[in-house]
Structure 1
Amino acid sequence: MGVRTWIDSWPVYRQLTGTDPLGRGAAAKSGRSARLTPRVASADRVVKSVCPYCAVGCGQNVYVQDEKVTQIEGDPNSPISRGRLCPKGAASLQLTTGDARGHQVLYRRPHGTEWERLGLDTAMDMIADRVIEARRAGWQWEVDETRTRRTLGIASLGGATLDNEENYLLKKLFTALGAIQIENQARV
Structure 2
Amino acid sequence: MAAWSPLEWPVLRQFRSGDVFGRGPAVTSPTTRHIAPRTATADRVVQSVCPFCAVGCGQKIYVKDEKVVQIEGDPDSPISRGRLCPKGASSAQLVNNPLRQTAIRYRAPYATDWQDLDRDTAIDMIADRFLETRRRTWQDRDEHGRPLRRTMGIASLGGATLDNEENYLIKKLFTAAGAIQIENQARI
Q: TM (normalized to structure 2)?
A: 0.89
Q: Which residue of 1 aligns with 2:52?
A: 53
- The residue type equivalent to 1:162 in the other structure is L
CA offset at residue 87 of structure 1?
Answer: 2.5
- The residue type equivalent to 1:51 in the other structure is C
Q: Which residue of 2 aligns with 1:9?
A: 8
Counterpart Cα distance in 2 of 1:132 and 1:72: 40
Q: Which residue of 1 aligns with 2:89?
A: 90
CA offset at residue 152 of structure 1?
Answer: 0.9
CA offset at residue 16 of structure 1?
Answer: 2.4
- The residue type equivalent to 2:145 in the other structure is E
Counterpart Cα distance in 2 of 1:140 and 1:181: 14
Structure 2 counterpart SS, 1:126: helix
Q: Which residue of 2 aligns with 1:178?
A: 178
Q: CA RMSD in A?
A: 1.7
Moved more, 79-88 or 159-168: 79-88
Counterpart Cα distance in 1 of 2:88 and 2:29: 32
Q: Where has structure 1 moved over 4 Å in runs of 4 or more?
A: none
Q: Which residue of 2 aligns with 1:74?
A: 73
CA contact (8 A) 1:76 1:84 kept: yes
Structure 2 counterpart SS, 1:54: coil
- 1:23-74 CA distances to partner (integer Å, 9 max, x unpaired)? 2223222222211211111112211111111111111111122333221112
CA contact (8 A) 1:9 1:30 kept: no
CA contact (8 A) 1:135 1:153 kept: yes
Counterpart Cα distance in 2 of 1:151 and 1:178: 5
Counterpart Cα distance in 1 of 2:157 and 2:23: 53
Counterpart Cα distance in 2 of 1:76 and 1:91: 17
Counterpart Cα distance in 2 of 1:21 and 1:106: 60
Counterpart Cα distance in 1 of 2:129 and 2:150: 17
Moved more, 50-59 or 96-105: 96-105
Instruction: Write the mapping of 1:19-58 to structure 2, written as runs, cut at 5 A.
Output: 19-58=18-57
Q: Which residue of 1 aligns with 2:154?
A: 154
- The residue type equivalent to 2:107 in the other structure is R
Counterpart Cα distance in 2 of 1:96 and 1:163: 19
- 1:100-119 CA distances to partner (integer Å, 9 max, x unpaired)? 11121111111222211222
Moved more, 126-135 or 73-82: 73-82
Q: How many residues align?
A: 185
Counterpart Cα distance in 1 of 2:91 and 2:119: 25
Counterpart Cα distance in 1 of 2:163 and 2:19: 48
Counterpart Cα distance in 2 of 1:164 and 1:59: 15
Q: Which residue of 2 aligns with 1:109?
A: 108
CA offset at residue 76 of structure 1?
Answer: 2.9
Structure 2 counterpart SS, 1:166: helix
